[in-house]
Amino acid sequence: MDLSKDILAEDFADHIRKNEMDSNYGFEKEYQQLYLESHNQSQTVASAPENGAKNRYRNVLPYDWSRVSLKPLQDEPGSDYINASFMPGLENPQEFIATQGPLPQTVGDFWRLVWEQQSHTLVMLTNCVESGQVKCEHYWPLDTKPCTYGHLQVTLEGEEVLENWTVRDLKLWHMQEQKMLHIRQFHYMTWPDHSVPYSPDPILAFWKMLRQWLDQTVGGGPPIIHCSAGVGRTGTLIALDVLLRQLERDRCVRPFNYVRKMRESRPLMVQTEAQYVFLHQCILRFLQQPDQALTENGAACENPLYKNI
């Protein structure tokens, strides 16, 4: 089977049916091929002794060529490092930034990343604690009292909490430059680590809301997307966004090709076979209801956001 060829929209259901035969044997073979083609590229900066404590997981390190560099701080070796990678999109080779969930000692670096990239969009796909384990530091304010990290002050301006996700409006103020950046954080709360949501429908509704926001947000840097390691759930959502847009534009998709391409920029993107299968199931569900309004309790992304704090 040629994994590189286009799968037409009208053939996608048949493609999934064939791959699901014999206990997902086709998907298993595709995923094994992704593993065999994994790229052992240079990770020198991420592996440097001064940066070791900045990595949440030792096996998830950004490649040198695609890592996002911070502006170095004076007299702080390694201060240009954060565990984050530029990711290719539909046409732009740096359409997204995939990063790990901040650690206590890297929250300041995370907000420097947001400021330096001038990103208006954060996407969080983990909870801070899952199954008793800390997966991500709580990096935004709990209430209206601002948090300060170096020259940057973060303020929570509004939030709306729904069943599967929360949307927050944040304000980032650079106290030295006297400039402001408005940010919207989309926090999906019901996606288990190393696993998949119970149904494609909520994640498709979340994607539709996010994509609507991205399409109407002019200017600024790449959306910053993270889970805990910044590869499994993060990779699956980025792949879903790119492949659904490719489907709308070309009426065909190449899921294997795109996941392979992602892995050239950051290791382990779409981390499990279950996530790879779920990606296909989401595409199929989208094809089955392309015109259906996918919303959660009427959630939309108009401005300004709900002032529920």
pLDDT at 37: 79
Average pLDDT over residues 237-244: 98
Closest CA to 122 of 147, 152, 103, 102: 102
Measured CA to CA, the distance from residue 52 to residue 84 in angstroms comes to: 14
Q: Is residue 4 predicted with pLDDT exceeding 80?
A: no
Look at residue 303 and tell me whether its pLDDT is greater than 50: no
Mean pLDDT, rounded, of the chain: 92
User: For residue 133, what is the enclosing H or E element?
Assistant: strand 133-134
For the stretch 41-59, pLDDT in tens is 999 999 999 999 999 999 9
Residue 2: its pLDDT value, please? 65
**For 227-285, where are the E strands, in sequence order?**
252-253
Full-prediction pTM beyond 0.85?
Answer: yes
Give CA–CA dist 299/301, Å, rounded.
Answer: 7
Contacts 24+ apart (CB under 8 A), 139-148: 139/102, 139/107, 139/110, 139/111, 140/168, 140/170, 140/185, 143/309, 144/309, 146/173, 148/175
Please identify which of the residues 128, 136, 147, 227 carries the catalytic annotation: 227
Does residue 147 have an active-site annotation? Answer: no
> What is the pLDDT, as a whole number, of residue 300?
42
Closest CA to 258 of 30, 17, 56, 28: 30
CB atoms within 10 A of CB 260: 20
Give residue 205's pLDDT band: very low, low, confident or very high (50, 70, 90).
very high
* pLDDT tier for residue 290 given thresholds of 50, 70 and 90: low
Say yes or no to pLDDT of 267 above 80.
Answer: yes
Residue 307 clears pLDDT 80, i.e. is over it? no
Q: In whole angstroms, give the CA distance from residue 81 to residue 71.
A: 9
Report whether pLDDT(297) > 70: no
d(CA 6, CA 218): 31
Q: Are 281 and 200 in contact (CB under 8 A)?
A: yes
| 85: phi then psi, degrees, rounded to nearest 5 | -135, 140
CB 29 within 8 A of CB 273: no
Calpha distance 238→15 (Å, rounded): 21
Q: What is the predicted pLDDT for the residue at 1?
A: 56
Angle at which helix 255-265 crosses helix 12-36, to 10 degrees, equals 30
Give yes or no for a contact between 236 and 278, defined as CB atoms under 8 angstroms apart: yes
pLDDT per position as a tens digit, 162-171: 999 999 999 9
| Residue 309 reports pLDDT greater than 70 | no
pLDDT at 296 over 90: no
Q: What is the bridge-based pairing of β-strands 224-226 and 96-99?
A: parallel
Query: Is residue 239 over pLDDT 70?
Result: yes
Percent of the chain with pLDDT over 90: 82
Indicate the burial class of 197 (C-beta count within 10 angstroms; 0-12, 13-18, 19 or more).
buried
Residue 299 tokens read as: 């959630």
Q: Letter for the amino acid at 225?
A: I
Does the structure show a pLDDT above 60 at 302?
no
Q: How many CB atoms lie within 10 A of CB 170?
A: 22
Query: What are the structural domains, with CATH classification, of the chain?
Result: 7-288 (3.90.190.10)
pLDDT score for 29: 92
3-state SS assignment for residue 21 = helix
- At 133-154, the pLDDT tens digits run 999 999 999 998 999 999 999 9
Element spanning 220, H or E: none
